[in-house]
Amino acid sequence: MVTDWSEVARNTLRAEMVRKGVTTAELARRIGEVEKTVANKISGGKFGAAWLLMCLAAIGAKRIELD
């Protein structure tokens, strides 16, 4: 089985946003980006590890689980 790591990254970020109660608009504000840009990155799942880590830090995620 081949793992789609873009999907894993997207789903992980979305799950942490829900867990922390952070909307796309709020995440965009916290990282200093335009909401539409953040929404496009998340929906497309095309973003780098550094951007993912920045977002996770901005929403206050301390640990993540990869299921």
Two tokens, residue 11: 């789903």
The pLDDT-based confidence of 3 (bands split at 50, 70, 90) is confident
Domain count, the chain: 1
pLDDT in tens, 6-60: 999 999 999 999 999 999 999 999 999 999 999 999 998 889 999 999 999 999 9
Residue 1 has pLDDT above 80, yes or no: no
d(CA 52, CA 11): 11
Q: Is the residue at 34 inside a domain?
A: yes
- 7 burial (CB, 10 Å; 0-12 / 13-18 / 19+) is exposed
- 44 burial (CB, 10 Å; 0-12 / 13-18 / 19+) is exposed
Q: Is the residue at 10 inside a domain?
A: yes
* pLDDT value of position 48: 95
Query: Which residues, 6 or more positions from 32, have their beta carbon under 8 angstroms from its beta carbon?
Result: none
What is the span of the domain harbouring residue 41? 5-58
CATH number at residue 15: 1.10.260
* pLDDT value of position 26: 98
Q: Is the residue at 24 inside a domain?
A: yes
Proportion of the chain above pLDDT 90, given as a percent: 81
